Structure 1
Amino acid sequence: MSLFVNLVGLVLMALVVWWFWLSNRKSTAQAATQEATIIVEDGVYSPASIRANTGQSLTLHFDRRDPSPCAEQVIFQGLDTSAFLETGKTTTLTLDNLPAGKHRFTCQMQMYQGTLIVD
């Protein structure tokens, strides 16, 4: 019986790893923009890839639909910017004078993941 429980546990762990890090979810990158809405739901940011222009401001509207505690914060690595997201509400975040490059944005546990591409 304990062997069965261990096997079920391993399968469930593999599913979690696949869902959050290995699955190839469809997400379309938007054209370079100055404003975008990102839906936070079901363990993903949608769209997960945003394009912006160097040196310009970008306004992001995070529509948090997921009550998971992991979804309560978005952190932009390399930009020293973060915001708390309220469930059922849209939180607006403006990023000014964006430097060129790829900037990851994640939840505090890095399960939700996205990329800001600045050209």
Structure 2
Amino acid sequence: MNNKHRFWGITFLFAAFMLSAMVACNSSNNQLIGSWVEPIPGQENNVQGFKLEADGDASSINMNTLKYESWSSNGKQLLLTGKSIGNGVTIDFTDTLLIQKVTADSLILNRGQGQWSYVRQQ
């Protein structure tokens, strides 16, 4: 095989790899779209969480002092961006959470020693 054919073969393989990686990442993002909730500690009959929209918007569910605004994911991490509101001070933040598991009806996230288990809200 001459160098020209080898170049095009390598280029094709690289393009195929990148396309499959993009499809896999998009598929995991699609699994994340929706409303995810967990029981509020001490108020197990009430839930809190977040809603992730297909366009990258995010919103909080039953959390008045933590306002999610947007989200993104690379398939392994979930980044939630928003504002923390308290005592007259508003702070911009980005939470970087490791996606441990995502299924049709459950989402498990962790950061450091903390772990959160969410269920999909219908």
Q: TM-score, normalised by structure 1?
A: 0.35
Greater percentage in strand? 2
Greater relative CO, 1 or 2 (CA 8 Å, sep 6+): 1
